[in-house]
Amino acid sequence: MPESNESIRRYASSLNQLDRMFGHHRDSDTIPEETEKQIRAGRTNEELEELEDDGLTRE
């Protein structure tokens, strides 16, 4: 797996963790929303480029 894909996965994971920690102050009975797109092991370079174009990832 290319190193850049692994870097993107780590970055997205960090953003998700920060969002869970600080992004929203929810009531205890509120169900968290699902993320729109997720990085997964089978993600192709084209899909990663699409995420970059959407502004969801940074280099």
d(CA 36, CA 58): 17
**Predicted structure pTM score:** 0.34
Contact 57, 38 (CB under 8 A): no
The two tokens of residue 29 are 């009975």
The structural domains of the chain, with segments of one domain joined by +, span 1-22+37-59
Angle at 11 (CA atoms; ends 18, 30), nearest 5 degrees: 30
Angle at 2 (CA atoms; ends 35, 55), nearest 5 degrees: 35
For the chain, 59 residues long, give each residue's pLDDT as a single digit of tens: 567 888 888 898 888 888 877 766 655 666 666 666 666 667 777 877 777 777 654 44
